[in-house]
Chain A
């Protein structure tokens, strides 16, 4: 069965870095685009970044451009989000998800999320 398991969250001071991982299993990871989304406490979903199946195309929401980097290692079936220069407003649960659609992206499997708290 398809599984996505995020890890790497925790408490970090403003300005520091953190790397999130998303371990995929139960499907051929290398043929799917993937995304990261986040949800601040009590708030709605916010898309963060997307990477194509072959890693050649990446998109980011404006608020993380230049600070976050999405990447993938198909040999390890793992998606990453490198987060630098963290801000208090980056505090959220971060979800990874698989892009299911061949038309406009849509996300059919999601991980359980990992909490990132940016606080001094």
Chain B
């Protein structure tokens, strides 16, 4: 059971928009920056969003991040079949002195 809570799965049609939530507490999301990772089947994770809402170079602006209080959200617009993957949020937990990942959300593009 992760300290960061994500929905196990989300789905949407190609071209549509989807959001993935990540809920935590004041010791993690509430007082630290959040990053998001995409993991395609059989591959290593890939950084999509860092510092809550920044995109590394090469990440398309279809991907966005936001944070409010103790929750963060990843948004993906213009869904493509290639976006089907597992998505993880992550941040530092200041009380536990550990890095934490969310449990992961499987995105299905119908």
Judge whether A111 and B98 touch: CB under 8 Å. no
The number of chain B residues touching the other chain, given as a range, is 20 to 34
Report the minimal beta-carbon distance from A95 to chain B, rounded to whole angstroms: 6
Indicate whether B100 reaches chain A with its CB closer than 8 angstroms.
yes
Indicate whether A112 reaches chain B with its CB closer than 8 angstroms.
yes
Within 8 A of A (CB), among B4-58: 32-35, 37, 39, 43-47, 50-51, 56
- Chain A 86-100 per-residue mask, 1 if CB under 8 angstroms from chain B, else 0: 000000000101001
Judge whether A110 and B88 touch: CB under 8 Å. no
Judge whether A45 and B88 touch: CB under 8 Å. yes
B56 contact set on A, CB distance < 8 A: 100, 108
Judge whether B99 and A105 touch: CB under 8 Å. yes
B92 contact set on A, CB distance < 8 A: 104-105
A113 contact set on B, CB distance < 8 A: 44
Report the minimal beta-carbon distance from A31 to chain B, rounded to whole angstroms: 18
Neighbour of B32 across the interface among A60, A104, A111, A112, CB < 8 A: A104
Give the interface of A toward B (CB within 8 A). Answer: 35, 37, 44-47, 50, 59-62, 95, 97, 100-101, 103-108, 110-113
Give the interface of B toward A (CB within 8 A). Answer: 2, 32-35, 37, 39, 43-47, 50-51, 56, 86, 88, 90-92, 97-104
